[in-house]
Chains A and B, each alone.
Chain A
Amino acid sequence: MGPERRGSGTVSPIVLFAGLFLLLGGTALWRLLAGEMPVPFGAVLGILSGDVSGASPQEIAVVRLVRLPRLFAAFGAGASLAVSGVVLQGLLGNPLAEPYTLGVAAGAALGASVGIHLGGVWLPGAAFAGALGALALSISLSRRSGGGSPAHMVLAGIVVSSFLSAAVTLLKSLADEKLSSIVFWLMGGFSGATPEGALCVCVSSAVLLAAALWWARDLDAMSLGERRGTYLGVDERNVRGCLLALASLATALAVSFHGIIGFVGLIGPHLLRMLLGPSHRKLLAASFLGGALLLSVADGAARAMNELPVGVITSFIGGPVFCWILVRERAGRT
């Protein structure tokens, strides 16, 4: 018998985390250097380290007020959506769960549209209420229709998403003068990222990660399904309530600042689960970094393609990944 492996991963966690940090660093450098206005490498490093003597005022403004907020907004939103995906998958014992497939993003979108109607200050709160409402609706519908099986949950998410998207379309048609702002916002993206917004999204993603790591072992047990969490001494109601609220809040903030960006909660977590195994302590931390990496690279690509909505790129990657997971599920080889 060969040496006994303790975990179910195929890659050493140290190697994987080192790789993720390196890739994140490289991506950050690329995103800070790339743009209409060329900023020399030395100037970027100087601005980051606080020594602005070698940079012009324009270069300082572009890096500090445009590129850094955009980079951190993409980092924070990607981390939020990926960690939310892992948390939802663990809590519901459903590999297909994530903010987009459960209708959480559509709920946040409807809430945010209502918020735009009421005035910008209501936007984050309305998006959060919409996200929570949509999640409650999807879970309730799936439990009443099919006992909460993965397929029923996704079906319920599709129904809820379709209904809420129709409501957003109705709102758009009723809101002549605010139509352009809703449409612009719904397209999603990071071109209008502000330092305050980026900070907000980054903080919410960090809070969600900290809470999820606190309950990581409980999530392992709950992800077995069939109330195994309860039988193993987990206060499921408490853990589920807190983590669903935090995941909805993080998703709502990401959606309210940057629009609907689908599948981030599926792509990163599933690839990382294959490499690291399903144990949540490692998976959550890796998904935080992986989500940040994925969305910042997708944003860079979107920007290079004439500011294509970043959700288009994540959906082009996420759609096939979703199908792949579905086929693996069917074959029982997850």
Chain B
Amino acid sequence: MTGVVVSELHAAYGSRVVLRDICGVFPAGAVTFVLGPNGSGKSTLLRVLGGGMPFSGSVRVGETELSSLPARRRGRLVGVVTQSPTVSFPFTVREVVEMGRLPHRRFLRGMSDGDGAAVRCAIDAMELGDLLSRRVPALSGGERQRAVIAQVIAQDTEVILLDEPSSALDPRHTLRLFRFLGAAAAAGRTVVAAVHDINLAAEFGDRVWILKDGALVASGTVEGTLTKDILSEVYDVPFESVGRGRGKNIWRAV
């Protein structure tokens, strides 16, 4: 498994081009963070990679062209955590997490032992044991986010895409989530997360992609790519390193 290979990727909302000529690799076995200013195309990139938006160019997972896959197989291969998830109907947390098994379940069959194990693993990972009977629309933003992340964990895919997954999480669950993602990458999965917090990327990432105005301006290892010059140019504000934590630079806009 080589991860996700993107080449000559273009995407647009109507006449507005939001991604232009993106080429690169999200390697398997690594957590890659996608950074960039507001409107740089981070969410659109994840939407395209997840099959939720039309595009031109190529997105391959291993040797398989994503757009040629039947929907169910794509669902078994790629999972997506959307930004600030909302749930309009009163599903319970358990129901939402169990939906993650949809691409694996056979028609008219109930949950198999494997499905049950995947759901339990997801519930444990996001510490949802006490919330299983609660209705998702009535939960707090962070609890709702944990339920949707658990759904994607239960989906058990080779590729995990996350758009601002920790925007509503408390520090405990942020740490828990990124440790889980690190372990998933260590087990050979491809993990891609779009975030705004550069230090989160520095701390938990193996690699970073930096987007600006829909174009990929830099990519590579965390240490090699998160530099004062690149960050200052991309965000149009001076950056400085304010020390080191866990062996990585800590950055601050000044």
Interface residues of A (CB under 8 A from B): 1, 4-8, 89, 93-95, 150, 217-218, 220-221, 223-228, 230-236, 273, 277-279, 332-334
Contacts and interface: CB of A to CB of B under 8 A. Distances in A.
Contacts of B91: 8, 220, 224, 277-279
B71 interface: yes
B108 to A, nearest CB: 9
Given A4-B132, A227-B82, A334 B75 contact: no
B52 A5 contact: no
Contact of A277 (B79, B80, B86, B90): B90
A228 B144 CA distance: 14
Contacts of B73: 233
B102 interface: yes
Interface centre among A94, A217, A233, A279, by most B CB within 10 Å?
A: A233
A1 B130 CA distance: 9
Contact of A5 (B88, B89, B133): B133
Q: Provide the main secondary structure of the chain A interface.
A: loop
Contacts of B105: 217
Given A233-B71, A233-B75, A228 B82 contact: yes
Contacts of A231: 50-52, 75, 78-80, 82, 152
A12 to B, nearest CB: 15
Contacts of A89: 89
B88 A334 contact: yes
A225 B92 contact: no
Contacts of B220: none
A232 B155 contact: yes
Interface in B109-154: 130, 132-133, 135, 137-138, 151-152
Given A230-B51, A234-B102, A225 B86 contact: yes
B240 interface: no
Given A4-B133, A228-B82, A334-B137, A233 B89 contact: no
Given A223-B88, A225-B88, A233 B80 contact: no
Q: 8 closest pairs, A vs B, by CB?
A: A233-B75, A233-B103, A278-B89, A235-B71, A231-B80, A227-B52, A8-B92, A233-B72
B49 to A, nearest CB: 11
Interface in B64-87: 70-76, 78-80, 82, 85-87
Nearest to A234: B71
Contacts of B155: 232
Given A95-B88, A235-B72, 14 more contacts: A1-B130, A93-B89, A95-B89, A224-B91, A225-B88, A227-B82, A231-B51, A232-B103, A233-B71, A233-B102, A234-B71, A278-B90, A279-B91, A332-B138
